[in-house]
Amino acid sequence: MELKEKQLKSEQIYKGAIINLFLDDISLPDGNTAKREYVRHPGGICVVPVTDEGEIMLVRQYRYPYGEEVIEIPAGKRDSADEDPLEGGKRELKEELGITAEKFISLGTFYPTPGYTDEVIYMYAAFGLTFGETDPDEDEFVLPEKIKLEKLVDMIMAGEIPDGKTQAAVLKVAHLLKNTDS
């Protein structure tokens, strides 16, 4: 079965500082038409910083859409579509936690919610950390958190870490290190 949906018409509803909203008319595989409303986003990067003692460095941040503080791995949007994702990861790690790292490992990409956004988040793990000064964005306020990997996995399994990219990336790191050790 052919699954492809074809664009018939595309209308930009909103052009924002970060997100752009579109409403498109499409044709379905059965020939009928439908609407698709979705966000275009420049894409993001996130990094799991692993200390030599097996701790994960995180940030606590107020997330306005949820009206609550959320604990996440350091992350941010790409400066532009031209920015190399790994360079973006190094930048976010420095900005939010003041960390530079000797070694980065790719953890693949992450589509946050494919029904209505085109955002691609590039995921990395970072090792060999050096701690220095942070360099936060002017409208961004974050507090550092440090949690042992085993404890963080337990928190994820207990539903205490709702952020999706943090769940996926930290479980990947746990899987990776377990298979490296054995």
The residues annotated with a catalytic role in the active site are 138
Sheet-wide strand order for 142-148: 68-72, 55-63, 142-148
* Binding of a copy of itself by 3 (CB under 8 A): yes
For residue 93, the minimal CB distance to a copy of itself (Å) is: 17
- Let me know: does 105 contact 80? Beta carbons within 8 Å: no
Residue among 62, 84, 103, 148 that touches a copy of itself (CB under 8 A) = 62
CA 145 – CA 6 distance, rounded (Å): 45
Which residues in 22-61 contact a copy of itself (CB under 8 A)? Answer: 23-24, 26, 28-30, 32, 34-41, 44, 60-61
Q: Which of 60, 65, 62 is nearest to 18 (CA)?
A: 65
* Binding of a copy of itself by 148 (CB under 8 A): no
Inter-helix orientation angle 164-181/149-157, to 10°: 130
Which residues in 69-128 contact a copy of itself (CB under 8 A)? Answer: 69-70, 72, 77, 106-121
For residue 53, the minimal CB distance to a copy of itself (Å) is: 22
Report the run of H or E that residue 170 belongs to, with start and end. Answer: helix 164-181
For residue 106, the minimal CB distance to a copy of itself (Å) is: 7
